[in-house]
Amino acid sequence: MDKQILRQSAAGLGIATMLFGVTPLLLPDRFARVFGFETPDAATASMMRSLGVRDIVMGMGLWSAAAHGGNFAPWLLARTLTDGGDTLAVGIAAARGKRDWRFLALGALALGAMLGDALLYREAKRTATQTKQAKQVEQG
């Protein structure tokens, strides 16, 4: 993948991640309804807000690193791991009987995000390795 396209893709993913985090942060009741949760009590709403903050911060870091020429691969790895954890958590809940289609859609979204994160991470690491090797060849 072209380095510029990779960087733009990572920056776009960062923006999308920030936007996804806004709803659970500001409107946890609406987030709950959209994804098949019961109306959250204060404690559950605080957890949803915390996850919203996590996504906003993760998205800001990814966007900033990609948009400003930094190393964005660690942010992609962090997203891969957190989205993988979200996928696992939904899978455990589904195995225990939580099978509302909206909730399962949230799990599918997390799974798709994890796979996309992992592909971009792999590509970022491959590109960085190629760049490092090219510099070593230049230096002789």
The rounded mean pLDDT for the chain is 95
Owner of token pair 């996309």: 116
Q: Is the pLDDT of residue 140 over 80?
A: no
Amino acid in position 134:
A
| 22-48: pLDDT as tens digits | 999 999 999 999 999 999 999 999 999
How much is the pLDDT for 67? 97
How much is the pLDDT for 30? 96
Confidence of residue 83 (pLDDT cuts 50, 70, 90): very high
Whole-number Å distance between alpha carbons of 140 and 130: 15
- Judge residue 119's burial from the number of C-beta atoms within 10 Å of its C-beta, 0-12 exposed, 13-18 middle, 19 or more buried: middle
